[in-house]
Structure 1
């Protein structure tokens, strides 16, 4: 049985990493109910395996490792998987999350707040396509139809919007130059 100190450490680490874990899962799974289920399952597995965790090392990568295995298992059970969801892709995504974690801003929430500020600062043309694509989960075709744009115009606005966001995040110290181009 885990002692009180380990239990408290787990509670703190789980709370500090909960937003990051949710964002990570949302990047891999579109269905919100499935994201919620995988989030809970990740924390349950992490709790059960806490004695295997080296608490002197970063908790986020360990938690994302558990989550990525659960996501892969979820897709295997469904007998469907996104074309790009392979172990190598998950490792790249995890490295990006870790790079974000190492940059300026004390907490994940600080980094999310910086992203929100950058999104709020976008011109309306870019904000509407970014919002449709990433917040509403629409495809580029669906965003183009919603905004009555050609697909090419929509893709160009998305490209420009992402570039503007990357520039804004670099100026805030939340995104490194190498990440902005990858």
Structure 2
């Protein structure tokens, strides 16, 4: 049986207040949650799921003092899990197609939608406004090329070029390359 947000938050705050048994219960409850989180995102690398779960548990333990008791616990947890996943991809130099980025960042269950939106918005803010809008319109809002072009008042080929160049720049940034 999965623990609820309220139960996880209780164990976290009790652990922060010095209750070792609550901290242990929290870490045990997180194993299946994190396992499911990573299995959904790592279809081609299932062997790495257990390692990612362990790395995330270590991060949760090490970063527990940064938890804000006024915020949902799971939002904090899944932001740590996303960063562990990004670090994993960087270490492995795995490339992820733009179609899979949405799957990786998708908000499931009780993950924090605002956090995922901020991650996407932060990435897009590193691009020119034209490229950011083209990518947002076509890949986030799901508009067709012609709809995005009409909305921006530019040609369809301009939208295609902006999306292509923007995605190329984002991929380079994610790989740590200078653009």
Report if TM-score (shorter chain) is over 0.5: no
TM-score, with length taken from structure 2: 0.45
TM-score, normalised to structure 1's length? 0.44
More relative contact order, 1 or 2 (CA 8 Å, 6+ apart):
1
- The higher radius of gyration belongs to 2
